[in-house]
Structure formats: structure tokens, C-alpha cells
Amino acid sequence: MDLIEERPFRFRIDPHEGMRVPGVVFASRELLADAERSLDQVVRVATLPGIVTASYAMPDIHWGYGFPIGGVAATDVARGGVVSPGGVGFDISCGVRLLAADCDEAALRPVLLDVMDGLDRAIPRGAGPGGVWRLDGDRELERLLRGGSRFAVERGHGEERDLLRCEDGGAVAEADVTQVGERARQRGLGQVGSLGSANHFLELQRVAAVYDEPAAAAFGIAAGQVCVMIHCGSRGLGHQICTDHVRLMDRAMARYGITVPDRQLACTPVESPEGRAYLGAMAAAANYGRANRQLLSDATRGVFRRAAGIRLSLVYDVSHNLAKIETHAVDGARRQLCVHRKGATRAFPPGHPELPEDIREFGQPVLIPGTLGTASYVLAGVEHGGAFASTCHGAGRTMSRHQAARTVTDGELRARLRRAGIAARPKSWRGLTEETPEAYKDVDAVVAASEGAGLCRRVARLVPLGVVKG
């Protein structure tokens, strides 16, 4: 495949093999090593009906279901543009929440182990059920699917400010609970307020560097401050919704004359009954993910308060697996687009009306979880960032979990974290080896490429003090 380097950190794949638009990849050559399989997916996404401008890939690109993880694509709603569940993925509204503590590392260190032990007991995690909040039947689940974080806050699990610092005010308005199937509901009833497994985590962090002090101050973070980062999504409910609607769209495509080069790209027009059904169910799953992170925040606040008298305030909450109907300029005209972001984070520029008023002038906070024992970042959206105001979402895997577990023993990983002063509370040490840093790209390089490509700017770098994992 010919990759044309247009400028530093930006490569182009010219249309071929049925591509309707070019592929555009933001990365360095080093980050693209062994990425050929993922680049093939960039090419296939470019064949989708109604796609505009380009099939984009972020610096953390790696292979995914249908779309690459790190993929962004927008389709024109009024011109037959499609929505594809593969452009969101199975963990709908997987995202990141950052809380800032009213203390620095020096104040936390004497009570760090007490806090970690408290979190170990308070944070449900692992692949099965067992959330903080057992919902009282289907009606309460439906209220949560409509209300998201607001539903949790109204029931005493948070504060009003939490909703002001959450994407969409804590809830996507277009949720349609009638499109959430029975199996998805069953899976969702027992998992709300749980971390899950795989790469999801709750991490205590220290702000190690601040690059943009006015933005950091507005967001509520400062050098040396303790923060808590929560990375999780919609659990089994979101996974089942994706499964159900991929199946429905796969059967429906022929009615709309749609063929795709990969069945994992199953899609229908946004305005079709199937397209509207998926978007309604996806929004419901997004609200489940928001409520999930809200409940985990509330449980974490309780631990910090009881163990150390420390208060946590929300910096921001943003998803990185979602499709949104947004208005963007295409060929000089404003168009309504269905923007798929899969393993990519929305990064609205300064002044955007959907941003909270108190931080609007600085651009949208973008939260980038790093790898175990390395670093994470707070970024911000910029003017004319491109890719429909999107940027990276993390480090990006380079190894399967099975491969990763073979590179390090649990004893070696335990010793490494201990030497780094990082307190770990995994559900299993064997499972934690699947998330060893060697399994991922260098998050510093990913962020440098994202900033170098003009997609975002750095605000702060955070390093881990303790981690809770499924």
C-alpha cells in the first residue's frame, strides 16, 4: 500500500479499490510499524456510502472490528450517508473521567495504602456482574438509559457540577430504550457501577507536568496535584447492543443496495428504520456508560473521604467510542454528518457552544489514558484541528493479550510496579500482565504525533501512583 507523506505526521492513501475518499493517517513512521492490517481497514472504511472528506486514522491506530481502533469517518446524512455499528465498536461509550483531588502527592502518601485498600473493596471489577448499584427491575434500567449521569446524580450519587463537566451534560438526548433488546437489558441490570476487565482501570495519578497553565487552571488541575482517572464503558449491555444491531443491519443492507468489502462494516442509511434504531440504542448504551462512570466516581469519593478527608472534583468526562450527528463544513458548506469515532476522542475547539461556559475559551478537555505504569495526558481541542474535531484516545495496542501475558511474569510486573512506587490492586496479577506497557505503543509518541499533526495541544502529563484493575 502506498503511503504518501504529505507533511510531518500526516500520510495519505489515494483512492483505489472502490474508495470514495482518500485515507488520511496521522502518525509517525515509527508508530505505523506493523500497521498494514489496520491500514487495510482504513481503505475499506473509505468505501462506505455517503462518506465525506476522508477515512481518518489516529496515531494510536490498531486493528479492530470493521473499523480500525483509532478510526474516524463521517457520512452525509442528507445524501444517503450510513451508520455502521463497527464504527463505534462493542464497548459503546467507553470513555474516560478525570477527578482532581484537593491535595498533592505529599499529603496523599501517608494514607495511600489505606485509600488503595478501600478502593480494592469498593470498586467492583472483572468480567461478570456485580456493580455498585443493583437496579430495581426494567423500569429503573430504562430511566437510567434515558438519564445517564443525571439519573445517578438525582439519586444522590454525585453533585450538579458533575453534569456541567460531562460531555452532553451527562446524557445523550436521543436514547430510544425500545431498541434495547431483552438480552442487553438482562446483562445491564447487574453491571452498572462496575469497572469491567481488559484495559479498563481506575488509577490514582500525580500531575507531573503542566504545559498550558491557563487551561490547566480552568480545568481544575495544577502541578503536583493528585487526580483519579477512570476508564470504562457500557459493559455487557453495550456489547449486546452492538451484536444485535450488526446482525439486523447485515440482513437489511441488500434492501438499500449496499454492499461492503467486509461484513463487519454492516451499515444502513442513517435515516433508515435500522439506522435510527441503532442510533437510539447506541445513545441508551452511552447513557449507561456515563452513569457507570458516575457511580464509580461516587464510590471513589467515598473512599477518599473516609480514608483521608480528601475531596474530589470532576475535571471532565468524555467518550471515545461513539457516533454523533454533528454539523461540520464540507467543501465550504455546513452539512449534517454522522461522525463515527472509534478509539478516537471528540476535541471541540475553543469557543464551541457545546462546551461548558467556564472552560469554553480553552477548548474541550481530552483525556488520554496511558499504559500501566507509564503516563496519561490531558489535552485540549484546537482551532481547525481537522478530522471533524477528533484526536487520539490512548496508546494503542501492539500485542494481543495472550502475547502480552507471555512477555512478562506476574512476579516481574509486581516487582516493576513496586520499584516505581505504584500501588496495584488487580483482581488477578496474571490478568494484569495482559496490560504490560510492552503491549502498547509509546503514549508520549502518540500524543506528540497528535499535537504535531495539529489535532490537539498538550495541557498536562500525569503519572501513576496506584492502579485498580479488573
The Cα–Cα gap between 24 and 38 comes to: 13
201-251 per-position pLDDT tens digit: 999 999 999 999 999 999 999 999 999 999 999 999 999 999 999 999 999
C-alpha cell of residue 156: 444522590
Query: Any residues with CB less than 8 A from the CB of 400 and at least 6 apart, and which?
Result: none
pLDDT of res. 1: 75
With 90 as the cut, is the pLDDT of residue 129 above it? no
Evaluate whether 249 touches 95 at the Cβ level (below 8 Å). Answer: no
> pTM score, two decimals?
0.97
pLDDT of res. 128: 78
338-374 per-position pLDDT tens digit: 999 999 999 999 999 999 999 999 999 999 999 898 9
With 90 as the cut, is the pLDDT of residue 135 above it? no
Please choose, from the candidates 73, 83, 162, the residue with its C-alpha nearest in 3D space to the C-alpha of residue 343. Answer: 73
Evaluate whether 40 touches 307 at the Cβ level (below 8 Å). Answer: no
Structure confidence at residue 134 as a pLDDT band (50, 70, 90)? confident
| β-pair partners for 333 | 330
Sign of the torsion angle spanned by Cα atoms 204, 206, 211, 217: positive
Domains and CATH numbers, the chain: 4-398+440-469 (3.90.1860.10)
Pairing of strands 457-469, 423-426: parallel
Catalytically active residues are: 393
With 80 as the cut, is the pLDDT of residue 30 above it? yes
Judged by phi (left if over 0) then psi (alpha if -120 to 50, else beta), residue 53 lies in left
Question: What is the mean pLDDT of the segment spanning 251-262?
Answer: 97
Please choose, from the candidates 112, 11, 2, 115, the residue with its C-alpha nearest in 3D space to the C-alpha of residue 58. Answer: 11
457-470 per-position pLDDT tens digit: 999 999 999 999 98
Give percent above pLDDT 90 in the chain: 91
Strand 10-13: give its sheet, edge to edge.
4-7, 10-13, 23-25, 55-62, 69-76, 333-342, 321-330
The Cα–Cα gap between 464 and 339 comes to: 33
Higher pLDDT, 131 or 420: 420
pLDDT of res. 126: 87
Residue with cell 451484536: 243
Quote the mean pLDDT of the chain.
96
Sign of the torsion angle spanned by Cα atoms 48, 52, 53, 55: negative
pLDDT of res. 293: 98
